[in-house]
Amino acid sequence: MSCILVTGYAGFIGHHVCRELLTLGHRVVGVDNFNDAYNPKLKYARCLELGKHPNISNFTGVTKDINDHDMASVFSEHQPSIVIHLAARAGVRPSLEQPQEYIRSNISGTMNILELCRQYKIQHLLYASSSSVYGDSESPVLSVDDYASHPVSIYAATKRTNELMAHTYAELYDLPCTGLRFFTVYGPWGRPDMAPMKFALAAMQGRTIDIYNNGQHERDFTYIDDIVSGILLAMDNPPSRAPANQLDVLTPAVGKGPFRVYNIGAGSPVSLLDFINTLGEQLGCPINGNHLPKQPGDVERTLADITPMMKDFGYRPKTTIGTGLKNLVEWLKERNIADMGL
């Protein structure tokens, strides 16, 4: 049975990816350093939940930082054939306050993963990018064929750098690399620093929420199950090197080497105010907001062009914002949020 290595397995997306991989019968090795970017209690709670999976015997968890020199021991012992690299410092605003930590984790850490993938001849590296790389694009639809050369946060800059690094490794070493630009992921087990979870918790606890840009932001909110579906579809379809007689097909998202970049989103933007109103309906209580101006690094609007994912892999997001928020609220009400550090 081949092995799949998932970095950041105790994170929001990593947790759901590992669960689905185990359900499909894969052997999975997860790596996480359980840092304190947000309360680690939530990460440990995800691990406890993962431990209930009927195929948990196929899972091995390793506590390690992706920057550690002995990350090589994980590759050498488990011999993964595929790496899903999700470990990162995430979030726009914290990256402006802790830029060096984002450089260390997202750039130096990813370089370590790339180099190990090269050394151990990994068959396919998939890595998390972000819709933040587009910056404040004037285009109404964000396409992977855009050059994405004007990020407006350190976080976005690190993710764009990851894409360029992966392109180089694909070109120089024939390492198949697929970058996945995620668009505002939400759902059960979500990050507490992101608006969906933050707003839901505040409303349940009777607190007022901060609404930046007076709620005029638009986001392509994407439910976690649709994100996982996109990751696994891409995982099963590694890119190949472009034939020498077809180099005219090259774009910012398609390399001469085995390199591709895709958006994974819902393909339909929702205004922050509409999102808040729908969340309030699901909670059955009003959400009190403190309206504030736009914050540095925030992007006005995100809308993913998911046509390449649909064309290449048959990707079809299925979860509406109403259903997704209903699932999130039900999950929150079923759990002791204090035990998860929320």
Element spanning 280, H or E: helix 272-283
Catalytic, out of 102, 127, 155, 186:
155
Name the H helices within 1-153.
Answer: 12-23, 40-50, 71-78, 92-97, 99-102, 109-119
For residue 271, CA distances in Å to 96, 215, 219, 337 come to 24, 7, 6, 27
Whether 223 sits among the annotated catalytic residues: the reply is: no
Give the span between the Cα atoms of 252 and 256, in whole angstroms. Answer: 10
Give the span between the Cα atoms of 98 and 238, in whole angstroms. Answer: 34
Residue 30 tokens read as: 């997860």
Give the span between the Cα atoms of 105 and 334, in whole angstroms. Answer: 34
Residue 122 tokens read as: 């990994």
Amino acid in position 91:
G
Give the span between the Cα atoms of 5 and 74, in whole angstroms. Answer: 9
The DSSP string of 23-66 is: HTT-EEEEEE---SSS-HHHHHHHHHHHTTSTTGGGEEEEE--T
Identify the DSSP state of 218: E
Q: Catalytic residues, which ones?
A: 155
